[in-house]
Amino acid sequence: MSASLKVTANRSRLRSIAVASLFLSPCAAQTADFASGEETAPAPDPERFGPVRQALHDWHVVIGAGAAFKPKYEGSDEFEVSPFPFVSAEFFDRITIDPTGIEIKAFEKDAFRFDVNIGYDSGRDEDDADTLRGMGDIDFGVTVGGKATYSFGPASLFVSVDKTIGGSEGLLATAGAAISQPLSEHLILGAEASATFADNNYMDAYFGVDAAQSARSGHAQHEAGAGIKSVDLSASATYLINENWVVRGEQGVGFLVGDAADSPIVKEKVQSKTMLMLGYRF
Give the residue among 172, 277, 270 at the shortest CA–CA distance from 227: 172
Q: For residue 192, which of 234, 230, 225, 231 has the smallest C-alpha distance?
A: 234
To the nearest whole number, what is the mean pLDDT of the chain? 85
Q: Which of 187, 275, 277, 281 is nearest to 239 (CA)?
A: 187
- Any domain includes 103: yes
Instruction: Decide: pTM greater than 0.85.
Output: no
Does residue 68 sit within a domain? yes
* Beta-carbon contacts of residue 44 (< 8 Å; ≥ 6 apart): none
26 in any annotated domain: no
Give pLDDT tens digits for 206-249: 999 999 999 999 999 999 999 999 999 999 999 999 989 999 99
CA gap 91, 93 in Å, rounded: 5
What local confidence, expressed as pLDDT, does residue 280 receive?
96
User: In the predicted model, what is the mean pLDDT of residues 22-28?
Assistant: 31
What is the span of the domain harbouring residue 156? 47-281
Domain count, the chain: 1
Which helix (H) or strand (E) segment is 203 a member of? helix 200-207
Give the domain CATH number at 55. 2.40.160.40
Query: Confidence class of residue 4 from pLDDT cuts 50, 70 and 90?
Result: very low
What pLDDT score was predicted for residue 59?
Answer: 73
1 within 8 A of 90, measured Cβ to Cβ: yes
**Rounded mean pLDDT, 25-54:** 41
